Structure 1
Amino acid sequence: MNETNSYGRPWKAFEEQLELLTARGMSVSDDAWAAAWLQRAGYYRLSAYWYPFRVFRMEQDATTKALRSVRTDEFMPGTAFSDAVDLYLFDRKLRVLLADALERIEVSLRVEVAYRLGRIDTFAHLHEDSFHPSFRERRDGRSGMSVFAAWQQKHQGLVDRSKEDFVKHYRQKHGPDMPIWVAIEVWDFGAVSQLLAMMKVADQEAIATRYGIGDWKAFASWVRALSYLRNLVAHHSRVWNRNMVSEPKMPALQAPAWCAAFAGKPDLLAKPFVYLAIVRHMVDVICPGSQWRNRLADHLQTFPVQASQRKQSIAAMGVPNGWETWWLPERGQ
């Protein structure tokens, strides 16, 4: 017998989806064009970009009498289907730019972790004593195992699933265990981040210093945040105005000057722009002279103008006032 659930919304054809949107107050100037976009990107994915244009009403809780903001299905006057598409395209280009930068950061971190640990022990990633006792023995929230044991399982799974020729060649020639500088090439960003968090303090300090940060704890939070950002980008998830769940800390020591724009401001630390600032910092260290910061700043200047009465802007990304002065000081802003 098939189990039932409480979800009662029926399947709708693309034309029916458009009819629903227009009934809720969205303007659609070209039905064929809009239907093509629904077919290309999907109603659910695009809904994240028309969500900010929904009407919100204040309601009083019947029990607590507290006022709360409740989203309705209606759209603000003037909202056009193109508003959502333009935000989607802006976000897609943002993810492309981030993918380019995050690749450089991930590769650089792999080198730093493998170089630091490999100098001590060729197979450091397989030996508990290569890592800080307190860090490695913390409990994994999902499995209940130590984080080191849980990481070992993840490492083995990544190695076993790898289709890379170098993995097959190495294991055939040398056996199942690969040196850290070989094994690290099959790890994902999350695995690198988790291993870094277990390293001894002196090792974490050395790696943080390599990237110009004197606070190793803050730097570890940066790497966790970038791992989270990498997952969003890899899964084509909305970035531009998301409430982020892995908030980075601002360094207490040897902090870059731009960190002052975010320090002590939890509302900004929960938004994506501080992540972009961290990416900019890391790319500048890894690739001096890179034009990535210019490309990102130029993209922000293309933020779309909307027809809706409720205007969106890059402020929803958590952009601090005066960001241009430190993002692109060479432009004299």
Structure 2
Amino acid sequence: MTTPYSKTFLDIPGQAAVLQSRGLDLGDPAEAARLLGQYGYYRLSGYWHPLRQSRLDLGDEGKPTVAYDDDFVARATLAQAIGLAEFDRRLRALFLEAIERIEIAMRVSVALLLGPHGAWAHRDPRHFYPKFASQADRTTGVVPYNAWLKRLDEHERRSKEQFTIHFREKYDGPLPLWISIEVWDFGMLSKLIGGMLVVDQQHLAGAFGIARRPLLPSWLRAINHIRNVAAHHSRLWNRSPADQPIPPKPGEFALLDPLARDTFAHSRVYAVAAIMQYLLRVIDPAAANDWSECLKAHFATFPKIPGVTVGNSGFPHGWEAIPLWN
């Protein structure tokens, strides 16, 4: 059941008054007003959420679930929420740095895989799985490949890259694959890989050390989801991603075996971090080592807040010491 929204607008002093009435220590009033104006009330709400009082409720199926009240726990402070927000900001930057390397490597691999079929192989439905290339989606009624081509045309038309300007000045027609792929976003890339023929997916997956073909498009979708979260400056550190990667099976990947056996870690952002690190070790071992060391150093700065642990992100205790990260 839903009800009409009836809350009225609150200015910064009004927001501060609500938080104080619920037990949040704002510290210096002027500084609190500045921080609320800088970060935004509803943006910060995701970071002070773990500081609210909680209780166990029985759900519809009689299973206990955690419910949060509006009031904050004793000694909860705005500074603690800001600390989490700043930790998260730097974490997003680290994820984007690793995703960039993975995305570029995938672009090159797809261009080398499809390029021998012709300059416009990416525009030829014969190179893709029928469900993607010719069957309409039951919900939208649109063929996924046709929607992808429409998005491709928009990206090529809008591109102001020097190489696309040069091409349009000299040649007719759409960009060839090896040029066009440089204007795709990660979502377009992952969607096209998901629509590839099985033999091409197997080839691509094998090149990145993935023996089970369905894992590749699933992992790329999950990485793209996290990329969008980070690029839009949304909360990341304790997120349960909406698009979770297919988990590895126990014994399937020696480096990912701890993840395969940890259902909680798989439901949180750690799962995507682990598969990203696995891919980085294949793409560029030196970059994988650098990223690992940067993550370790960053997690060592996690703010000390009673009742809030770095484990909420799914990073298991002792993750720094397992072979994947060393």
Deviation of residue 279 (structure 1)?
A: 1.7
C-alpha displacement of 1:260: 1.3
Is 2:277–2:324's contact at 8 Å kept on the other side of the alignment? no
Letter in 1 for 2:232: H
Structure 1 letter corresponding to 2:257: A
Query: Which residues of 2 match residues 63-142 of structure 1 at below 5 A?
Result: 69-140=66-137
Deviates more, 1:22-31 or 1:321-330: 321-330
Farther off after superposition, 283-292 or 215-224: 283-292
Q: CA deviation at 1:184?
A: 0.8
Instruction: Tell me what 1:298 maps to.
Output: 297
Deviation string 1:106-142 (CA, Å, 9 cap, x unpaired) is 1111111111001122101110001122443454466
Offset, 1:172 = 3.0
Higher mean C-alpha deviation, range 113-122 or range 88-97: 113-122
| Matched AA of 1:305 | K
Which of 313, 318, 322 is the aligned partner of 1:317?
Answer: 313
Amino acid at match of 2:163: F
Cα deviation, 1:255-299, whole Å, max 9, x if unaligned, reads 432321122544322200111111222222222212111001111
2:232 pairs, out of 231, 235, 239, with 235
Counterpart of 1:72, as a letter, is D
Matched residue SS, 2:214: helix
Q: Distance in 2 between matches of 1:121 and 1:213?
A: 26
Alignment partner, residue 177 of structure 1: 174
Name 1:267's counterpart in structure 2: 264
For 1:116 and 1:219, the matched residues in 2 are separated by 15
Deviation at 1:144, TM superposition (A): 1.8
Give the residue type in structure 2 aligned to 1:47. S
What is the CA distance between 1:226 and its match in structure 2? 0.6
Give the one of 190, 195, 209 matched to 1:193: 190
Match of 1:41 in 2: 39
CA distance in 1 between counterparts of 2:134 and 2:199 reads 18
1:240–1:272 CA contact under 8 A, matched in 2: yes
User: What is the DSSP-based 3-state SS (H/G/I as helix, E as strand, rest coil) of the residue aligned with 2:285?
Assistant: coil
- For residue 278 of structure 2, the aligned residue among 276, 281, 286 is 281
**Alignment match, 2:6:** 8
Q: Tell me whether 259-268 or 273-282 shows the greater mean CA deviation.
A: 259-268
- Tell me which residue corresponds to 1:17: 15
Is the CA contact 2:292–2:325 (under 8 Å) kept in the aligned structure 1?
Answer: no
Cα distance in 1 between the residues matched to 2:47 and 2:325: 32
Aligned with 1:261: secondary structure?
Answer: helix
CA 264–173 in structure 1, closer or farther in 2 if over 3 Å, else same = same
Task: Flag the 1:67–1:202 CA change in 2: closer, same or farther, 3 A.
Answer: closer
Q: Which residue of 1 aligns with 2:151?
A: 154
Q: Distance in 1 between matches of 2:201 and 2:61?
A: 48
Q: Which runs of 4+ in 1 moved over 6 A?
A: 63-67
Given that 1:213 and 1:253 are in contact with CA atoms closer than 8 Å, whether structure 2 keeps it comes out as no
What amino acid is aligned across from residue 141 of structure 2 in structure 1?
G
Change (3 A) 1:60 1:221: closer
**Cα separation, 2, equivalents of 1:113 and 1:64:** 46
**Gap change, CA 1:187 and 1:66, over 3 Å in 2:** closer
User: Which residue identity lines up with residue 56 of structure 1 in the other structure?
Assistant: S
**Helix, strand or coil for the counterpart of 1:289?**
helix
Equivalent residue pairs, number: 322
SS at 1:74 equivalent = strand
Q: Does 1:145 align with 2:142?
A: yes
Report the RMSD for the aligned CA atoms in angstroms. 2.4
5+ residue gaps, structure 2: none
Identity, % of aligned pairs?
Answer: 35
Cα drift, residue 64 of structure 1: 8.7
SS in structure 2 opposite 1:216? coil
**Structure 1: any 5+ residue segments left out of the alignment?**
none
Which stretch has the larger CA shift, 243-252 or 202-211?
243-252
Q: 1:141 to 1:301 in 2, by over 3 A?
A: farther
- Counterpart contact for 2:205–2:211, Cα < 8 Å: yes
The 1-side partners of 2:279 and 2:265 are apart by: 19
Work out whether residues 143 and 150 of structure 1, in 8 Å CA contact, stay in contact via their aligned partners in 2. no
Q: How many Å apart are 1:214 and its aligned residue? A: 1.0
Deviation at 1:69, TM superposition (A): 4.3
Cα deviation for residue 206 of structure 1 reads: 1.5
Q: Cα–Cα, structure 1 residues 39 and 280, in superposed 2: closer, same or farther, change >3 Å?
A: same
Instruction: Tell me the amino acid that sits aligned with residue 313 of structure 1.
Output: T
TM-score, normalised relative to structure 2: 0.91
* Residues 1:141 and 1:235: Cα distance change in structure 2 (over 3 Å): farther
**Alpha carbons of structure 1 residues 193 and 64: separation in structure 2 relative to 1, 3 Å:** closer
Instruction: Kindly indicate whether the alpha-carbon contact (under 8 Å) linking 2:250 and 2:260 is maintained by their aligned counterparts in 1.
Output: no
